Chains A and B, each alone.
Chain A
Amino acid sequence: MSGSAHQAVHDAGYQPVFVGDALARLEALFAWYPTKQACLLPALWMVQEARGWVSQRGIGEVADVLGLTPAYVKGVVTFYTMYHTHPVGRHFIQVCTTSPCNICGAEDVVKAFLQHTGCGELGATSPDGRFTVIEVECLGACGFATPVLIDDDFIEGITPERVPGLLQGYK
């Protein structure tokens, strides 16, 4: 990971996520589980969808609404790789580089993304704030090497040649 991933980031002007509709959606989930704690992963997803990442303030809000401690919530957040604990580019690009894709040229796909996004290195955000690129472990689409996840778009069969055109769709 690059330096930017480890910089302390403050979430000034935090607006609560769990008000109005979002709160109602979370509360509707409570009926599906015997504990509120079980709604932790769904609640964290809601924070990330609303804010783009899960800040310390977001952790505090989730802890409050589920009756947990912030320390506990942070322990869970940091276990799962898909929650961003720092801001990332507008478009988050995950390239599978585990063995099945690796033997089909996935590392060249990573290089193409790093070059064409201007990110330069893994985990860093491009200077224009548009992209962050990371290597991800097995995306579960090994027969369609190389699969790439851009935000919520799961795209199969990416080759280095396809990268520039693909990026055009993400402003």
Chain B
Amino acid sequence: MGYPHPSHPGEQALLSKYFGDPGARSYEGWVKRGGYEAFKKALAMTRDQVTEEVKSSGLRGRGGAGFPTGLKWSFMPREVTKPHYLVCNADESEPGTFKDREIMRWTPHQLLEGCAIAAYAIGAERIYIYIRGEFTAEHRILVDAVEEATRAGALGANVFGTGRRIEAIVHRGAGAYICGEETAMMNSIEGKRGNPRIKPPFPAQAGLWACPTTINNVETLGSVPHIIREGGAWYKGLCRGNPKSTGTKLFSVCGHVQRPGNYEVVMGTPMKELIFTMCGGMRPGRTLKAVIPGGSSVPILTAAEIEDCVLDYEGVAAKGSMLGSGGMIVMDDSTDIVYQVMRLARFYAHESCAQCTQCREGTAWTTRILERILAGKGKPEDLDLLLDLADNMTGTTICVLSDSCAAPVVSAIAKFRPEFEAYLNRTRQPVLATA
């Protein structure tokens, strides 16, 4: 449902069915709502059958990459010769994205059930749930939920009397966007600076403490119980667009819409339906200017580009952007694109781990150049310089933080060039005092 707003008829609430219902938060409340039946069902299947079911559902990673979940699980070695680990990525930090927080605060057991099923499928006895440090309330909720589930025997040394060990612990981050990147997250859990690692080796080969590891996003794992309960074929049938994008997806819509919130729709739903019908469109007297559709790390789309854009991985890619995490930043005609791109660049500069030169220097200089443009001190060649920097920041680093900074800059210059030029040719008043 469009939490905090009432459910819209255009939504299909699986993950969000109990958002706003405090009764769903406890173990007992979750069991009353059919919880942990899927986990019991999975335990009666073989590990391979569980993975196959998820493969057949077409579920793709909801953290942003869109990698097929069942396939990812199948990369884990079949024989367990050293510990296997599951890491739940609850580090939700991508600007514009706030869906995982809602899953955790209302339905922590939905997440734990998905974690338990995934751990079973990949042969892991231990689950680390890595939650960002700022999510103080959700941290407490998850810690309590793990304790409850353990007391009830849904987690622990002997889950539901099967003799199988699946334990979970919540690991709290301490303020670092980059720890949402899976290899940085593993370093952080190991007690290191959150520097991303070079891949290969991939986590399934050598992850946490060089052991086979799978990292899945909260929403991905939360979807798993529904797939096991209703079947992969059923989930695959939830599709309005490209058959490669299946199931429901939570879209976090923020910015200048009348009803910002989380909306769960079937993949392939038109973007306009989400923004104008469900979210109520723009504020009175305002018109849509631009949308960043997949969290801040993806290219900006203009109002014209979203006209016939459908919300699935292929639909948004066809418009030259990415579905990403489904965090949509909606900007109306009051928005200063140059200023907001500077704020995004500042975000990436602040969050760069500083390992790679292109990123450390690139994000910082991108920010400084944008700041001087906004201060009325831009030079005629600054736009070319920004594009040249962006070119050097794309595809040249260990992780994609650098690329993520370049994407909004390049797309904004391409699509809103006159706004940058207005600062450069002094037809627009500076908005920053110094630079």
Closest to B192 in A: A76
Q: List 21 A-B contacts (CB under 8 A).
A: A32-B126, A45-B172, A80-B176, A82-B174, A99-B292, A100-B255, A102-B340, A103-B255, A103-B256, A103-B340, A104-B255, A138-B95, A140-B98, A142-B98, A142-B252, A142-B260, A144-B98, A145-B254, A149-B136, A152-B136, A153-B136
A38: Cβ under 8 A from any B Cβ: yes
- Name A residues whose Cβ lies closer than 8 Å to a Cβ of B: 32, 34-35, 37-42, 44-45, 66, 75-76, 79-83, 94, 97-100, 102-104, 136-145, 149, 152-154
**15 new A-B pairs (CB below 8 Å) besides A100-B95, A140-B100, A140-B134?**
A41-B174, A42-B171, A75-B193, A76-B192, A80-B194, A81-B174, A98-B343, A99-B296, A99-B347, A137-B95, A137-B177, A138-B347, A143-B252, A143-B254, A152-B136
The B68-120 residues at the A interface (CB cut-off 8 A) are: 83, 92-98, 100-101
Residues of B within 8 A of A141 (CB): 98, 101
CB of A137 within 8 A of CB of B193, answer: no
Q: How far is the CB of B7 from chain A (nearest CB, A)?
A: 16
A99-B340, A137-B347, A137-B350 given as contacts; is B176 within 8 A of A79 (CB)?
yes
Q: Contact check: which of A38, A40, A41, A138 meets B177 at CB < 8 Å? A: A138
| Total inter-chain residue pairs, C-beta < 8 Å | 140
CB of A154 within 8 A of CB of B134, answer: yes
A104-B255, A142-B327 given as contacts; is B347 within 8 A of A79 (CB)?
no
A137-B350, A140-B135 given as contacts; is B343 within 8 A of A41 (CB)?
no
Q: How far is the CA of A143 from the CA of B344 in the complex (A)?
A: 17
B209: Cβ under 8 A from any A Cβ: yes
Q: How far is the CB of B345 from chain A (nearest CB, A)?
A: 10
The B1-52 residues at the A interface (CB cut-off 8 A) are: 4
Q: How far is the CB of B129 from chain A (nearest CB, A)?
A: 12
B367: Cβ under 8 A from any A Cβ: no
CB of B134 within 8 A of CB of A139, answer: yes
CB of A100 within 8 A of CB of B174, answer: no
Q: How far is the CA of A79 from the CA of B340 in the complex (A)?
A: 26
CB of B260 within 8 A of CB of A143, answer: yes
A142-B252, A143-B261 given as contacts; is B95 within 8 A of A99 (CB)?
yes
Residues of A within 8 A of B137 (CB): 154
Closest to B138 in A: A154
The segment from B151-159, B183-191, B235-243, B385-393 that touches chain A is B183-191
Q: Contact check: which of B169, B193, B255, B296 meets A79 at CB < 8 Å? A: B193
Q: How far is the CB of B79 from chain A (nearest CB, A)?
A: 20
CB of A81 within 8 A of CB of B175, answer: yes
Closest to B83 in A: A34
CB of A81 within 8 A of CB of B176, answer: yes
Interface bits B134-165 vs A (CB < 8 Å: 1, else 0)? 11110000000000000000000000000000
Q: How far is the CA of A159 from the CA of B253 in the complex (A)?
A: 19
CB of B174 within 8 A of CB of A44, answer: yes
CB of B335 within 8 A of CB of A140, answer: no
Q: Contact check: which of B4, B173, B255, B344 meets A80 at CB < 8 Å? A: B173
Q: How far is the CA of A40 from the CA of B173 in the complex (A)?
A: 11
